[in-house]
Amino acid sequence: MNFEPIDNCAAHRCLSRRRFLAAAAAAPAAYAAASGAALPRDAAAIAAQGPGAAAVTRVKAAFVRRKGEYGMRWPGAVYDGEKARGAYTEALRAAAKALAIEIDLRPAPLHSLDESRAWVAEAKASGPDGLLVLLLDRQEHAWPTAALAADSGLPTIVHAPLGTAFTTNTAPLANRRGCVILGTDDFDEVVTGLKMFRARRKLAEMRYVVLKGAARREARVPHLGTRLQYVPASDFLDEYLKTPDTDEIKALAQAYINGAAGIASGTPRDVLNGIKSYVVARALLAREKGDGITMDCLGALGASPVSLPCISWSHLLDQGIPAACEADLNAATTHALALYLLGVPGFQQDPVADTSRGTLIGAHCTCPTRLRGPDAPPLPYDIRHHHGSRDAVPRPVWEVGQRMTVVQFVLGADETTPPRLIIATGSVVGNRAVPPAGGCVVSVECALDGVEDCLAFPGFHQLFLYGDHKRTLLAYCRLFGIEPMVV
């Protein structure tokens, strides 16, 4: 089924669709220029300062092969095992450096099952974040070693390049919880596996600043371990009211205006007020040594004249800092997972079904513009009020036909209940115009794979992500004992 984007804003004090798309074509370059050299360095970037940023991921790795020549047995005499080992070692070291993780690679391959037993026992004693078993052989102790690692209780990734496995070898471990088999010559798949270890460690160590209620307290997210530092919501309001309109705030607000295709509703002052929330959030993250932030925004600020932090949360996500709306912990942890594992920010949204088109619409007021990742150019966007006819939010135009993923943690109440993860994939089919429709101004419409009726779609505040990440998310679930809810 083919859909065209629905955009009826021409009659509603907005840019016409033609004028908007024409202006939007130049927006990425304009915004990139404005957010780079034209801005003070600390206005253009922010770094996480909490324990998640300092967390060290440790992986124990070993090659597995028999001694001597390969001979006629698979992978066969045609296979240059030493050359492959050298290439994989170099790639592994490069990945460790790029991901800032520690990989303890055994100097010599595991040449016997006794050596493998000793290596696994040593790993269990040292407690790394995971095991990486790199097979260079299909024979003798190769797959028994993979099984030993999978039985260790440590999350295990087995790399089995072409020639090292028949399906008869992989079948016994294919659906084993805590074990992921990567049967491929593509080493990028191994790098993705390493990102899984890193994401799990960062999720366990990171600190979310939760602006909600009137009391300070600390907590942990069950099973995941994510630290929660609750801070009185009034702290945000107090900090906002004492923050002046600095040159930095003015420059960043102007950069958003310069990069936009237009201001469909609202004023430059609304943009500046929203950007002030970014500076306030940055100060609170520094004060609390936080890696991410979430806020009971409507409860804390809805009745006040202070601007809701929609545009500032969008800016934080664009820079790779987890920022969740409405103090929703399901969404907050999912934001962190998307950035730490997949490298893309998510659009947290309220799900709406369109029965006439069989589609799911994600509607909300905070959406990142750099949906392909913090280092990618922003999508074309305009600036407008949110559904409350107040404050300024950027409305990115999602590309029709773009593959996308829906994902959300559903957290358990305590340590006895592991989290679940909603996973669905589909394609963007439109950007719904608000107005004339009601709801939140960022309203992205998608057709989900194999789903024709979205009325009972599970979850709330799920994230929409650019790209099809289903396979990676399913592997992550299997590796860490999370129940996938695949739609």
Separation CA 77–CA 87 (nearest Å): 18
Question: Measuring CA to CA, how many Å separate 86 from each of 31, 143, 194, 200, 244?
Answer: 43, 21, 19, 28, 57
Distance CA 393, CA 148 (A): 53
Task: Please tell me the pTM assigned to this model.
Answer: 0.91
pLDDT value for 22 = 43
- Residues of CATH 3.40.50.2300 domain(s) within the chain? 56-203
Q: Give the whole-angstrom CA distance, residue 262 versus residue 291.
A: 32
Q: Give me 170's structure tokens.
A: 């992989």
Tell me, which fold does domain 56-203 have in CATH?
Rossmann fold (3.40.50)
Q: Is the peptide bond before 244 cis (omega within 30 degrees of 0)?
A: no
State pLDDT tens for residues 237-270. Answer: 999 999 999 999 999 999 999 999 999 888 999 9
**pLDDT value of position 43:** 53
The percent of residues above 90 in pLDDT, for the chain, comes to 82
Instruction: Write down the pLDDT at residue 3.
Output: 36
Give the chain's residues under pLDDT 70.
1-45
By the 8 A CB rule, do 409 and 333 touch? yes
75 cis-preceded (ω within 30 degrees of 0): yes
